Every structure is written in structure tokens, then in C-alpha cells.
Amino acid sequence: MILHVDANSFYASCERLFRPDLAEKPIVVLSNNDGIIIALNAEAKTSGFKRGDAWFKVSAECAQKDVTVFSSNYTLYADISARIVAVYNRLCPDVEVYSIDECFLYYPDWNCPDFDGIAHHIRNTVLREIGIPVSVGIAPTRTLAKVCNKLAKKGNGVFSTENINIDLELANIPVGDIWGIGGSKKSTLERQGIYTALDLKNYPLHKAKKGLTITGMRTVQELNCIPANERIEPKKNQNICSSKSFAEPVTTLVELEQATAAYTHEAVRRLRAQNSRTRFLSVYLMTNPWDDTGPQYCNQLSADLSTPSSYLPDILDTALGLLRNLYREGFRYRKVMITLLGLEDDVVSQQTLFEDDSSKPGKQALMRCFDTINERYGKNTMRTALHLPGTSPWSMRRKFLSPAYTTDITGIPDVF
């Protein structure tokens, strides 16, 4: 049996976890640069807000309706997610992390356990130990488990196919709400008279395969309690990209170099986290294509490293060289993007004839020390001199950012 566990209004719940004064009050969380609403709790939805609302359009209404606003705090959300997954791993022998706020838990059903009891125990344990409410859907397939989870959110937090006639529920679910049925597939199905999840369940398999491809056919099988969707096995990234739009336009090379250093730091951190090294890298520089007040410019340059590397100073030096060749005066730049390509496992490799390998042990030791300190004391505790702390024009706009309560000792709330 499969349990789909999903945190309720996860981003908003993480923010409210350290703000008990916000209990039962509307909360919205904004995207990068405080652009749009990307998450909100039930109270905010009741107040008339929805995901995708532009912040500049609804900011006045939020203030009028006493809505608490947060900039996205991904450091906090990732840490809370890791703590929740640790609870799942303790309570279940087989856990698949699907996203930052949802997991599939696989239980063998040969001994016919009380799955409802297990689900309630999971909910209570996560709420007691972490403080985040979760809902649990129980079904023999992943697709039905996600359906049950949506139904659980409307009830007591747990919903199982074992306790009800699932067809009665599927008849009330629009076909577009089913996992794996996107906008184009929804239109295709509706043209054939398939409007509900129950209609899709009864859709002939040969027609599903022809009209919806193999993915759609598997969805039909899953609705009929036949496991067909393959588990997502974690894979290493084949390339790593680090980029964000600047909060304000940048015109000087020095500020672009600082932004490039920050994004290269992040790209190399992710590279080393998956124990890889890069053979090529590219730098992309662009102005704002929607800005009609000035000239436009965009360009990209790539470089081949002499040997595959995960050594930050070497990669950063190459990235800065590319940036300096890309830079042109007289433009208002809005984004710089760093991409690491040609990734491979960071293992012993054949040395080239002209390669000086004498400094490699020292570089590896330095980066291990670098990683250990940043892991222990917080990201960017150690950084290159060019990667300056503080707010710059290129820094992401996060006016409503909450403290890093769980990863920075200075962010721990004072108790009097």
C-alpha cells in the first residue's frame, strides 16, 4: 500500500511555525524578487487571494485585509523539509521524496496492517515533533494516493480507498485535476466526452495509449488500482545552472563580477554536493528584454577547463574571464547566468601529459575544509573576497524575509 504524505500550505506553515501570533491569520509567500504570490494558506485563499497574483497589484489589498507577507525563505523551507523526511524514514522502511513538501511512503501489505492507524500516527508524530500539519492519502497506486490526499485535506487529514467507494469520489473530480493530466491532455479528453476522473478510469486502454501516449495509459491503469507509474529515482544533475534576475538594473563591471562570484559559489556548492566536477562552463549576460527605455544586449561565452574540476577558485577565475569579455558599457543589465556542463563523477582520472598535478591534494583539502565550515556554520560563512555579504543592486529583492530560524544561531527567537 502507498501513503502519499503532503504538508499543508507548506511554505506558510513553516513561517507560522515560529510566529504563533499568526495562528488562523492569512499568510502569503512571494516569489524571487517579491514578484508574485507562490504560496498561501487557507485563510489567505478565503480572503480572495490566489497563487500567481502579482504582488504590486495586491499589496494594497493585503494591507487592507491584514495579510502577513513573507519573501520566500528557501533555506528555512529546505531545513524543515529535511526534518520531516527524517521522521518519515524513521516510521517507514521505504520513502520516496517527491518534492520539498510531499513524499510517497511504501508499506508491504502482506501482514495487513492498520494503514489508517499508521497514517494518523505519521500525522501526529510530524505535528508533535516538527510542528507542521500534513495530510495522508492511502491507496494501492501513486495516482489514487494523490487523489486521496486531496480528499484528506477536506476531511480529518487521512483518506483511504479501503473505506469508501472510490468511484463515487472520482465522479466528482474534474479530469484536469488528476496527476499527469495537463492542459493539452485535458482538452483532448473533453473533446471525447471525458470530463471526470471516473470517465478517465473507464477510458479504454488502447484509446488512452493512442490519444494520451504511454503516460496517459499508465494514469488510466493507476485509476483502476493497477500500479503503473514508475518511481522517480534520484539522479545526478547533468548540468548545473545558477542565476536570478537582479532586483535593480546593474551597469558596472564590478557589480556584475560580484553577482557572478555569488552565482558561481552556489553552482560549485551544488556540484560538490553531488560529488561531481565540471569540464566546461558558460556565462550568459543579458539586459531586460521588456525595458523599452534603453538599448538591448545579450550574449554568451563558454570555456573548456584544462582539466575537469570542482575547485572553486579555478572555476570562478574562468567565469570572471568570460564575464569581462562579455561586458559592454552603456547597458542596464538584468541577469547573469552561470552554467556548469560536462559533469562527471569526481573520482581518480587519467592525468594528461602536460598537467601539473602537484597542487591537486592541497586544492582538495582546501575545498573539504571550505565545505565543512559552511555546512557547520551556515552557507557562505566562508567565501571568496569578491563574494561580498550585504545588499547590492543585483541582490534578490526580499523585503519580507524571515530569519533563518533553524540554520543560523543569530536567527533563534529571543524568549523573555
pLDDT digits (tens, 9 = 90+) for 116-152: 999 999 999 999 999 999 999 999 999 999 999 999 9
Q: Closest by alpha carbon to 180, among 202, 151, 208?
A: 208
Q: What are phi and psi of 412, to 5 degrees?
A: -65, 130
pTM to 2 decimal places: 0.78
Mean pLDDT of 158-180: 90
The more confidently predicted of residues 397 and 252 is: 252
pLDDT-derived band at 186, boundaries 50, 70, 90? confident
Supply the mean pLDDT for the chain. 88
The pLDDT value recorded for residue 293 is 83
Mean pLDDT value of segment 176-188 = 86
Non-local CB neighbours of 176 within 8 Å, separated by 6+ positions? 183, 186
Walk me through the domains of the chain, giving residue ranges and CATH numbers. 240-347+360-377 (3.30.1490.100)
Task: Output the DSSP codes for 179-248.
Answer: TT--HHHHHHHHHTT--BHHHHHTS-HHHHHHHHHHHHHHHHHHHTT---SPP------SSEEEEEEEEE
**Most confidently modeled range among 137-146, 212-221, 390-399, 403-412:** 137-146
Q: Is the dihedral of CA 241, 244, 249, 253 positive or negative?
A: negative
Instruction: Give yes or no for a contact between 333 and 246, defined as CB atoms under 8 angstroms apart.
Output: yes
- The predicted-structure confidence for 290-337, as pLDDT tens digits, reads as follows 888 889 999 999 998 888 889 999 999 999 999 999 999 999 999 999
The residue that leads in pLDDT, 387 or 106, is: 106
Residue 352: what pLDDT? 57
Structure-model confidence comparison of residues 237 and 284, the more confident one:
284
pLDDT tens figures, 40-84: 999 999 999 999 999 999 999 999 999 999 999 988 999 999 999
Determine how β-strand 158-160 pairs with β-strand 240-250.
unpaired
% of the chain at pLDDT higher than 70? 94
